[in-house]
A and B are shown apart, each in its own frame.
Chain A
């Protein structure tokens, strides 16, 4: 595996081929905010909060650092005015959907994002896909998935699978940056309850 030399925020960084910009930055102690990234899951690039500027051959592009791979001579800037502005607007948009999310509120402070900028539309889920991907990739249970598309997209537990698998697992709960996941699960559980035989009848 050959080494790749690049610059991140003015620092010379040596990374190995195939690493993402996020990995490379973290290896030298440069923090980049992430929401949909999980080290044990396949790169996803859904939330875009990790956007950075990547310059190569005089051309600067905005890329998602959690999926963009290192390349020789790349010049990466993680905290430019433009990057900050993009993260700010993304946070403001996500806060319209999940106004009480602590993770989002903390990030909002860092980027001076106004949580009331956009009209509230509390759907809670920010479509990071962590729950769906964790269940599919690591647990291979596929108890939760996405349904619908675009603005209507939401997560959905498959009741039959959730009834069997989730009670003893719930490993996805702490991953959710909002409380959408728990809420969806509780609703599914409520739906399932009448189907279960009350213990008194066994």
Chain B
């Protein structure tokens, strides 16, 4: 199907003076606590394998200290791994020299940070075109491109303001505009919305999804919030103490949690609000589809559940955006999903 954009293989990261010898200990099965207590090294990541598909949003989720930031920083090599490989578009990021690494960062990736990391001495406009400025792109062109994205994130009129004058939500819009202006195919977002209050956060999520619909970037999105992960992610990877517990589509994470950690995570979620029709549909093969109700594949269950209850259809047909039948849902299946 779609191509793999970022391939992370057997990635290990151990913080400390003698990480190579600590690596052997970890490979022999020493866990994070023991490594810290006995050997005074911090286990950042252990044997991470993750294929990230082109043009999809890959969420990485986990509690504080689980290694999310460490993982995302390996993709543009802000952190050097202790072992393993990171391949983007077939190129090994770890084999790049300084110059080609800089080029890779300039052309292919852009990053949005949890605490915004804007340049305090530059205006919104200057911040936004920072990535282009560094590449010595013609001032006029850079300006036009930056203004376009400032406008898209809803900040026109604020071009000449300094970051300190903006609210957190607005600052992160600048962060997003700065990343989008760079026009890399890969967007790295490290808890980009975690510092914002709920309403603004929802706004930003909507902006991101809206933009993604037209831009089709490969997004790696870090969060510690399950609702956010389910809302945004095409796929979700769950990290715990540097180990990847589970990786899959949101519905699988919800419906088939592999470990207790994941189970605890997903326990209190309102499933009707996070599971889409396409996640639970079965393929059509000769069922009776008379008296059927039609839903869109991207509809969440709670969008049509009331109608199902009142109309009691025989079955539910799931269509895609082009109005093609892609699957069906039975009420039994629905009930099964929603019962706790």
Q: Do chains A and B stick together as partners? A: no
Interface residues of A (CB under 8 A from B): none
Interface residues of B (CB under 8 A from A): none
